[in-house]
């Protein structure tokens, strides 16, 4: 029986119309849940569609101006668990609503816009989810102009017309810093990520706020620049160690840097967390494997993709959504890299 179904895959709307003894317009109304067909007929046609395993041709639907049920996801890369989990969130959610996914990785910035333009021009997607480090204003204008619904992920634009879902990095960092402080740490070093990265800055701000709230004076000498890499964290920590400025804990902008920091500290003959506590950010897989397992801040990555997709699909369905900015909460994961200062 299933073999029979499979062979019917090239049916068109005309075939269904003939089988049902109606015009193809009627079938189209049923497919798109539009009014103008009696309940009875509707059921009959639906049954035929089901039995024949008929699936409307997306290309034709796209051409005819109707929805294609494809969502475009624009993302910097895939070979990174962070992005991979976002893709997963988007994929699972779009599937749930019967949408299929078009994937566009941007790698280098340059060609990105062209590729998205191509995508939009191809009439193949009903909407776009966009994640990028930096998005030019005139590109945003282009998107608005096209009238295609889109949602930004993890991109902190002030533009009030734009829908976006971001992680509350500041609150996450605040919570993490407060945890360190609750353990008795006052001299806390901070390892910055990329200078331009807004999330690194948000984390830094959260860190500073926690200091302020707890009346701890901020020591600029305890801040070291990095670049979100393991190597960067290693080098920054070595510098810190050589500087001679005393500190009992390190707040790293991300786990990769925290892992580099652990290595630098071990090389110096010191112990984590006995001599120095370390806290990271991201909760990457490696953070649970290294010795000691890293205390860190988990981002709701899967949920970001899910939320963005839900918003986009509602937008595609022309629902009105009052709220434009969505902020998702992080979660502190306590493991063994932080210790109370006795």
Partner DNA sequence: CTGAAAGCGCTTACAG
Min CB(48)–DNA separation in Å: 13
108 lies in the site for DNA, by CB under 7 A: no
Min CB(93)–a second copy separation in Å: 12
39 lies in the site for DNA, by CB under 7 A: yes
User: Which among DNA, a second copy, none contacts residue 260 (Cβ within 5 to 8 A by kind)?
Assistant: none
User: Which among DNA, a second copy, none contacts residue 13 (Cβ within 5 to 8 A by kind)?
Assistant: DNA
Would you give the binding string for DNA spanning residues 121-160, x where CB under 7 A is met?
A: --x-------------------------------------
Contacts of 4 (CB under 8 A, 6+ apart): none
Cβ pair 12, 31 in contact under 8 A: no
Min CB(123)–a second copy separation in Å: 4
**Cβ nearer to DNA, comparing 9 with 336:** 9
Rounded to whole angstroms, how far apart are CA atoms 59 and 123?
9
Contacts of 51 (CB under 8 A, 6+ apart): none
26 lies in the site for DNA, by CB under 7 A: yes
157 lies in the site for a second copy, by CB under 8 A: no
Min CB(223)–DNA separation in Å: 54
138 lies in the site for a second copy, by CB under 8 A: yes
Size of residue set near DNA by CB under 7 A: 34
3 lies in the site for DNA, by CB under 7 A: no
User: Which among DNA, a second copy, none contacts residue 6 (Cβ within 5 to 8 A by kind)?
Assistant: a second copy
User: Which among a second copy, DNA, none contacts residue 24 (Cβ within 5 to 8 A by kind)?
Assistant: DNA
3 lies in the site for a second copy, by CB under 8 A: yes
15 lies in the site for a second copy, by CB under 8 A: no
Q: How many CB atoms lie within 10 A of CB 298?
A: 16
What are 303's two structure tokens?
Answer: 């949920």
103 lies in the site for a second copy, by CB under 8 A: yes
User: Which among a second copy, DNA, none contacts residue 79 (Cβ within 5 to 8 A by kind)?
Assistant: a second copy
34 lies in the site for DNA, by CB under 7 A: yes
43 lies in the site for DNA, by CB under 7 A: no
Contacts of 199 (CB under 8 A, 6+ apart): 154, 167, 169, 193
206 lies in the site for DNA, by CB under 7 A: no
197 lies in the site for a second copy, by CB under 8 A: no
Among left, alpha and beta (phi > 0; psi -120 to 50; other), residue 283 is left
Binding residue (CB under 8 A) for a second copy from 118, 239, 329, 334:
118
Scan residues 46-75 and list those touching DNA (CB under 7 A): 56-57, 60-61, 63-66
Binding residue (CB under 8 A) for a second copy from 142, 216, 219, 324:
142
**Cβ nearer to DNA, comparing 124 with 223:** 124
**Binding residues for DNA, per CB under 7 A?**
1-2, 8, 10, 12-14, 21-29, 31-32, 34-39, 41, 56-57, 60-61, 63-66, 123
């Amino acid at each position: 029986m299933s073999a029979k179904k499979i062979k019917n895959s090239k049916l068109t709307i005309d075939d269904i119309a003939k089988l049902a003894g109606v015009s193809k317009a009627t079938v189209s109304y049923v497919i798109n849940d539009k009014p103008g067909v009696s309940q009875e007929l509707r059921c009959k046609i639906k049954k035929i569609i089901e039995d024949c395993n008929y699936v409307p041709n997306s290309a034709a639907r796209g051409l005819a101006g109707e929805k294609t049920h494809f969502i475009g996801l624009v993302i910097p890369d895939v070979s990174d668990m962070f992005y991979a989990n976002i893709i997963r969130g988007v994929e699972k959610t779009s599937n749930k609503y019967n949408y299929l996914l078009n994937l566009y990785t941007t790698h280098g910035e340059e060609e990105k816009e062209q590729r998205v333009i191509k995508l939009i021009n191809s009439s193949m997607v009903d909407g776009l989810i966009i994640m990028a480090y930096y998005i030019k204003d005139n590109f945003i204008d282009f998107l608005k102009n096209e009238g295609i619904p889109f949602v930004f992920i993890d991109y902190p634009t002030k533009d009030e017309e734009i829908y976006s879902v971001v992680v509350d990095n500041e609150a996450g960092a605040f919570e993490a810093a407060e945890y360190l402080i609750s353990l008795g740490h006052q001299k806390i070093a901070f390892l910055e990520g990329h200078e331009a990265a807004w999330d690194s800055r948000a984390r830094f701000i959260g860190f500073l706020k926690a200091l302020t709230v707890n009346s701890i004076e901020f020591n600029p000498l305890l801040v070291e620049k990095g670049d979100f890499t393991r190597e960067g964290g290693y080098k920054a920590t070595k510098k810190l160690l050589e500087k001679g400025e005393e500190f009992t804990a390190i707040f790293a902008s991300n786990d990769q840097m925290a892992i580099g920091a652990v290595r630098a500290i071990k090389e110096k003959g010191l112990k984590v967390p006995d001599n120095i506590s370390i806290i990271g950010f991201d909760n990457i897989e490696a953070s649970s494997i290294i010795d000691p397992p890293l205390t860190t801040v988990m981002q709701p990555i899967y949920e970001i993709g899910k939320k963005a997709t839900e918003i986009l699909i509602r937008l595609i369905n022309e629902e009105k959504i009052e709220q434009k900015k969505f902020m998702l909460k992080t979660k502190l994961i306590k493991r063994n890299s932080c210790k109370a200062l006795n």
